[in-house]
């Protein structure tokens, strides 16, 4: 048997190094994966799906996001047949067809920042079940406000 | 001096890790809670300058617009997809057929003349928007099965102004 020092007090020490390693790995993972850019997107909008909708390679510099969707329950069923414009004015939903005044204000705001409206892309994130006419009328309101470039969002991937 | 050095021999300098671990866990929890799994989204770009601008009468478009009509049932589902006056039916097969018809019109994808071509989509007011997106997708191109790249057909998409709901239905 090895000689034991009688006075040595045994201290249980946990080696923290592997844990810290893993925790840092996790933090790095979550930091990389979290998306702070798409903050204007509203999760109530169930976008249509199309195979051709590929994420843009060049990021749009100036954009105005319009979320047109329905109130849905937990199962995803519509609770209200009326589509709303979400996340637009102070977080309050607005009726799409009565948003003309606000769109003009947004246009003025871009103008005040010195941004030409031709450079602003209006991103229409419309729910797959929204009536096409409403989307078109909303686009018309944007055109009346001076916007010219539009993009329609869709989930990328094969159709269900 | 010599005595002190002798005493400290074998002692381990320990940093207090608990503060760092606290912060690191806070960060970890923050990132875990703010994580929102978002599916990748794509955009279809549509250039629509305001209507009513005087068009130059000398500027005659070299090709007439390709007309795609989408008719809706009262509940908003697709009742018929029309390419010109031909009914291509409903469902994914109809959109595939539209894709093939567009390819027949343009001849070869990527041809410079496709830049002058435009598709005009005429959709019923109450039609579900997903059908319009699928029609736009079918006109803009297709995904090459082998390489996975997008083969572009016609990029200019126009919309016929909507007919007011009362008149439409």
Mean pLDDT value of segment A18-29: 91
pLDDT of B109 > 80? The answer is: no
pTM metric for this prediction: 0.76
Mean pLDDT across chain A: 82
pLDDT score recorded for residue A25: 93
Mean pLDDT value of segment B41-62: 66
Higher per-residue confidence, B4 vs B95: B95
Q: Give contacts of A121 with chain B, Cβ < 8 Å.
A: 45
Contact A80, A70 (CB under 8 A): yes
**A129 vs B24: CA distance, rounded Å:** 44
**CA distance to partner chain A, nearest, from residue B2 (Å):** 23
| Residue of B17, B34, B41 lying closest to A155 (CB–CB) | B41
Listed in sequence order, the residues at least 6 apart from A17 whose beta carbon sits closer than 8 Å to its beta carbon are none
Mean pLDDT value of segment B154-158: 83
Could B40 and A143 be called an inter-chain contact, meaning their C-beta atoms sit closer than 8 Å?
Answer: no
Contact A52, B42 (CB under 8 A): yes
| Residue of B31, B43, B159 lying closest to A151 (CB–CB) | B43
SS3 for B90-154, per residue?
A: CHHHHHHHHHHHHHHHHCCCCCHHHHHCEEEEEECCCCEHHHHHHHHHHHHEEECCCCCCEEECC
pLDDT of B5 > 70? The answer is: no
Q: Give contacts of A23 with chain B, Cβ < 8 Å.
A: 21, 24-25, 28
Closest-CA residue of B relative to A144 is: B50
Q: Give contacts of A15 with chain B, Cβ < 8 Å.
A: none
Q: What is the DSSP secondary-structure string of B46-62?
A: EE-PPTTPPPPTT---S
pLDDT digits (tens, 9 = 90+) for A53-91: 877 777 778 888 888 888 888 777 888 888 888 877 777
Q: Which long-range contacts (CB under 8 A, 24 or more apart) does A11-15 make?
A: none
Could B140 and A149 be called an inter-chain contact, meaning their C-beta atoms sit closer than 8 Å?
Answer: no
| Residue of B38, B50, B129 lying closest to A148 (CB–CB) | B50
**Closest CA relative to residue A72, chosen from A44, A93, A49:** A44
**Closest CA relative to residue A65, chosen from A103, A113, A98, A20:** A103
Q: Give contacts of B165 with chain A, Cβ < 8 Å.
A: 133
State the ipTM, two decimals. Answer: 0.75
Mean pLDDT value of segment A36-51: 77
* Neighbouring C-beta atoms of residue A40, cutoff 10 Å: 15
pLDDT of A155 > 70? The answer is: yes
Higher per-residue confidence, A78 vs A105: A105
pLDDT score recorded for residue B108: 79
Strand-pairing partners, residue B141, are B152
Q: What is the DSSP secondary-structure string of A20-38?
A: HHHHHHHHHHHHHH---SG
**B47 vs A149: CA distance, rounded Å:** 5
């Amino acid at each position: 048997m090895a000689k034991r020092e009688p006075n040595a007090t045994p201290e249980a020490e946990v080696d923290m190094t592997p844990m810290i390693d893993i925790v840092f790995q996790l933090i790095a993972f979550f930091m990389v994966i979290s998306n702070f850019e798409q903050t204007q997107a509203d999760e109530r909008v169930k976008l249509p799906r199309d195979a051709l909708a590929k994420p843009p390679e060049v990021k749009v510099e100036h954009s105005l996001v319009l979320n047109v969707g329905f109130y849905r329950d937990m199962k995803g069923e519509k609770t209200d047949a009326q589509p709303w414009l979400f996340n637009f004015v102070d977080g309050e939903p607005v009726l799409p067809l009565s948003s003309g005044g606000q769109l003009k204000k947004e246009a003025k705001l871009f103008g005040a920042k010195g941004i030409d409206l031709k450079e602003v892309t209006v991103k229409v994130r419309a729910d797959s079940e929204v009536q096409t006419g409403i989307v078109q009328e909303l686009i018309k309101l944007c055109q009346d406000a001076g916007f010219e470039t539009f993009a329609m969002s869709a989930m990328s991937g094969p159709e269900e | 001096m010599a005595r002190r050095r002798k005493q400290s021999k074998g002692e381990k300098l320990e940093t207090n890790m608990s503060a760092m671990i606290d912060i690191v866990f806070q960060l970890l929890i923050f990132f875990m809670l703010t994580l929102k799994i978002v599916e990748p989204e794509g955009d279809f770009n549509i250039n629509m300058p305001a209507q009513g601008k005087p068009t130059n009468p000398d500027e005659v478009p070299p090709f007439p617009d390709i007309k795609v009509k989408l008719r809706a049932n009262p509940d908003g589902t697709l009742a018929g997809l029309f390419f010109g006056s031909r009914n291509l039916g409903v469902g994914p097969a109809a959109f595939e057929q539209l894709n093939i018809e567009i390819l027949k019109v343009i001849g070869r994808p990527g041809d410079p003349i496709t830049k002058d071509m435009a598709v005009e989509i005429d959709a019923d007011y109450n039609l579900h928007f997903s059908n319009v997106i699928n029609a736009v997708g079918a006109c803009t191109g297709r995904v090459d099965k082998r390489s996975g790249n997008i083969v572009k057909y016609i990029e200019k998409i126009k919309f016929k102004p909507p007919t007011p709901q009362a008149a439409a239905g």
